[in-house]
Structure 1
Amino acid sequence: MTFISYAQNFEDIRLWRALQSVENGFYLDVGANHPTDDSVTRAFYDRGWRGINIEPVPAYYDALCQQRPHDINLQCVAGENAESLTFYTIADTGLSTVEASVAQQHRDAGMDVRNQTVQSRTLASICEQYAQDRPIHFLKIDVEGHEETVLRGMDFSRWRPWIILIETPWARDQTWENLVTDAGYQSILFDGINTYYLAEEHLALKPAFDIPPCNLDGFQLCKGHKFSHPLSDTDQQLSAALQRAEQAEAQLHAIQNSRTWRALNKLRTLLHRAQAGPAQK
């Protein structure tokens, strides 16, 4: 099965190289954004992995619920406390943030920044509820300046993601890095966008990150990937039609698994038997 890469900077290829021997793995995606476009976790989902997607933007959260129904999708932000926060949304981008200074930079650049109120939860509380004692094979954090508060809300003494990748500035001047390294993780790679950290108990995975993705990984880029050729009008129409079909299938699956649907099916069966009884006599 050819590996189809969706991530913007080959993150999924690097992770798959390290974790492909894991069956039915589990991920934690903070700032999940779109369920497919530039997604670090989509390729893993397609291979039977499951995880938790944290995404406060309503449009992306709704898309995650439709296209990733087997994941746990949470419409909130990860933070240091449970509280209500102002979230600055920039539609159709991955630039939305809770950091007012970052939002102002985008306003100054002419972007349309909208305010909304969102609920914050700690990663520890989310893991307590949904991950419990299962291993987290990788944690991805992409939160546009909100990294420190996300990390402060995690209990790395109890939950130990094997690999952590965090979007970091090109200057590599992140003030929060000690929160990761002091928790028993080593920085092993900066790919130009993300810094990768390995848990000290999983340093045996380091050789998987020693060389960049290459032809030996046997991957293909998904249709429409920024590094591939632009789609023709026909391909774009086909891609849109396939996406609508996937969304419709996910909605139907969700309906069929609902309690109401099962109750109606049971009622139909009972009515059919009741109607069939007199006729058989």
Structure 2
Amino acid sequence: MTFISYAQNFEDIRLWRALKNVENGFYIDIGANDPTQDSVTKAFYDRGWTGINVEPMPNYYNALCQQRPKDTNLQCVAGETADDLTFYGIAGTGLSTLDPALAQQHKDAGMDVRSQTVKSRTLASICEQHARNRPIHFLKIDVEGHEETVLRGMDFTQWRPWIILIETPWERDQTWETLVTGAGYHSILFDGINTYYLAEEHLALKPAFDIPPCNLDEFQFCRGHNFSHPVTDAENHLAAALQRAEHAEAQLRAMQNSRAWRALQKLKNVLVRG
């Protein structure tokens, strides 16, 4: 079956190459954002995987609840402590953050930044409640400058994701990296957006990351993906017209199956014969 990629930068293709032999796998997505657009986990969910999605923005959280009913969806942030925190939301983007300085930069750039109070939970407590003894096949962290506090709230001696991918700056100057490498993880790849880490007990998966995604991965981008042909207004109108036509056809079938329709057809046949 062709692999449909939804992720922003081939993340799901790289992960699938390493983990495609795992059945009913499990993931944790910190900063899940939209359940489909640019989602690292959507393709896995479609293949029977489940996981935990942590997302504080109400619109994305509600969409996750609707589209990912088999996942555990949490409207909170992952942090170092269990406190109420100020979260700076930027609707319709993946730029929402807990970092006030970063929020101010976005505000100065003309973005609509709105603050709200959100619950914080440690990643360790989330794992204790929802992961229990399950293996965590990958952990994805995309939290716009809040990476260190997420990592400080995790106990890597008890929960050992096989693969961790964390959004990192282009300069690769992340001060928190020792929290990961010191916990027995090896940095194996930087894809321009994320750094991938492998648990030392799963280094046998490293060859899956040695070459970039290619035709041998037998994948296609989802409709409207930034790397594929953009969806035009005409295509949107066509899709809407097809949907209306399918609805009208369904109504016609329902009418034809009704008693009144069958009675009318019998009367018509009698009149024709007469």
TM-score, normalised relative to structure 2: 0.87
Between the aligned partners of 1:240 and 1:63, the Cα distance in structure 2 is: 21
Structure 2 partner of 1:15: 15
| Cα 1:207–1:103 shift into 2, 3 Å | same
1:230 Cα deviation (Å)?
1.2
The alignment covers a number of residue pairs equal to 243
1:233 Cα deviation (Å)?
2.3
SS in 1 for 2:195: strand
Between the aligned partners of 2:11 and 2:52, the Cα distance in structure 1 is: 18
SS in 2 for 1:166: strand
SS in 2 for 1:17: helix
Q: Does 1:222 align with 2:222?
A: yes
1:109 Cα deviation (Å)?
1.1
Structure 2 partner of 1:206: 206
SS in 1 for 2:119: strand
| Cα 1:229–1:204 shift into 2, 3 Å | same
Structure 2 partner of 1:112: 112
SS in 2 for 1:32: coil
Unaligned 5+ runs, structure 1: 244-281
Structure 2 partner of 1:49: 49
Aligned 1:184-199 pairs, distance under 5 A: 184-199=184-199
Structure 1 partner of 2:261: none
Between the aligned partners of 1:140 and 1:24, the Cα distance in structure 2 is: 18
Between the aligned partners of 2:150 and 2:171, the Cα distance in structure 1 is: 21
Larger Rg: 2
Structure 2 partner of 1:246: none
Between the aligned partners of 1:106 and 1:50, the Cα distance in structure 2 is: 33
Structure 2 partner of 1:98: 98
SS in 1 for 2:143: coil
Structure 1 partner of 2:177: 177
1:232 Cα deviation (Å)?
2.5
Aligned 1:126-205 pairs, distance under 5 A: 126-205=126-205
Once the two structures are superposed, what CA deviation does each residue of 1:158-204 show, in whole Å capped at 9, x if it has no partner? 00000000000000000000000000000000000000000000000
TM-score, normalised relative to structure 1: 0.84
Between the aligned partners of 2:239 and 2:135, the Cα distance in structure 1 is: 35
Once the two structures are superposed, what CA deviation does each residue of 1:241-263 show, in whole Å capped at 9, x if it has no partner? 999xxxxxxxxxxxxxxxxxxxx
Structure 2 partner of 1:69: 69
1:98 Cα deviation (Å)?
0.5
SS in 2 for 1:29: strand
Amino acid at match of 2:173: D
SS in 1 for 2:91: coil
1:235 Cα deviation (Å)?
3.1
| Deviant stretches of 4+, over 4 Å | 237-243
1:240 Cα deviation (Å)?
7.6
Between the aligned partners of 2:52 and 2:241, the Cα distance in structure 1 is: 27
Structure 2 partner of 1:271: none
Q: Does 1:124 align with 2:127?
A: no
Structure 2 partner of 1:39: 39
